[in-house]
Amino acid sequence: MGVLMVTIWCFRKKLSSNRIIHFWKQESLSNITVEAFLRNNGPLALRRYSYSDIKKMTNFFTEKLGQGGYGGVYKGKLPDGSLVAVKVLKNSRGNGEEFINEVASISRTSHVNIVTLMGFCFEGSKRSLVYEFMPNGSLDKFIYKQNLSRDDQRLEWEVLQNIAVEIARGLEYLHRGCSTRILHFDIKPHNILLDENLCPKISDFGLAKICPREESIISMLGARGTIGYIAPEVFCRNFGGVSHKSDVYSYGMMVLEMVGGRKNIDAEADRTSEIFFPHWIYKRLELEEELRHLGIMNETDRESARRMIIVSLWCIQTDPSNRPSMRRVIEMLEGTLESLQIPPKPFLSSPSRSPNDSASTTVRSLPNEDPGLSLFIGSEP
């Protein structure tokens, strides 16, 4: 028995040692990968900060602005007095892939609707990104009714439409304006930041992919992207290839939430028919019913809301080929309401709810999908 116990102890010690060695090998490989990227991409137009710089500019991470799956965002100040937002990555995916994605993608951009990356820190396992400070935070704080203390805090319809147009301009730039096409893959209200004038800027490029212009199908990375905004072809290739049209789908779902002032999937809705907002709002369009419950007070508001609804429903068409490009989205949002046609109803099933489990995430099968494959329709994880 004593010999057996000693043997087990030695085995466990060796196993633990192997795990430690494996961890350090992985960490070392990650560091080599990131350093190689930084070296091979030449002198980036970004300042490289030390971790002590990061601690100093954030006053040792005193003021937290937000939290995500990547880590936290903290308010900081540069020596010249400029305010910044410091994104601290906790568990970078793969061999530093998320860090590389963000630096590589956003360092190639220069657009009024793309947040500006001002610098970064890469020091062993310490990885941070220094962005321009956006005083109004993220879009989700301004559109969801539960986030508003008063009804008059809701953005006016003209402002909402302008924000939708500007976000579309930012995406059109990523898809067509860069020397290489950039696919974001994580468009949602939380990743749209607003400056002091409520000008929106796309942020969080951790899932972004860069590809040559002629490449239209990209292998999808398993994502921390939010389920409710992800295009169906990401889950099932029967719907088509993953491309820039996947960003169009996410954009459309986001605009619908801007219109409804709520999540598209609401398991707490009073009636089953109201759980999936895209289907509910489509029915209102079909029946030409009034939309007063959305806060529409006059004809100008009605036109803005109806225009945003029709455009977003085109964006979430199940077949990617039926979705418009972002350039076409801009044209539709800025054109006349009379020129817009109501699109076919997206045929994805809306979620069902059992009386005893109203708050649970629902899983629904999709038409023509592979056996055993289902699409989660649920709230943000």
Catalytic residues: 186
Distance CA 28, CA 124 (A): 9
Reading the block at residue 38, the tokens are 């930084």
| H or E element that contains 87 | strand 83-89
| The dihedral sign for the CA sequence 169, 175, 181, 185 | positive
Distance CA 354, CA 352 (A): 7
120, β-bridge pairs? 48, 129
| H or E element that contains 172 | helix 157-172
CA angle 142, 147, 149 (to 5 degrees): 100
Distance CA 337, CA 165 (A): 15
Distance CA 231, CA 270 (A): 27
Matching residue, tokens 């898809």: 175
| H or E element that contains 65 | strand 64-68
Q: If DSSP codes are grouped into helix, strand and coil, which group holds residue 252?
A: helix
3-state helix, strand and coil shares in percent for the chain, rounded to the nearest 5:
45, 15, 40
Matching residue, tokens 């003021």: 63
Return the number of other C-beta atoms located less than 10 Å from residue 236's C-beta: 16
Asked if 106 and 205 touch (Cβ cutoff 8 Å), the reply is yes
Distance CA 11, CA 14 (A): 5
Asked if 278 and 316 touch (Cβ cutoff 8 Å), the reply is yes
Reading the block at residue 285, the tokens are 């369009």
| Residue 87 in marked binding region | yes
Matching residue, tokens 């029946």: 287
Which residue ranges make up the annotated binding site for ATP?
Answer: 87
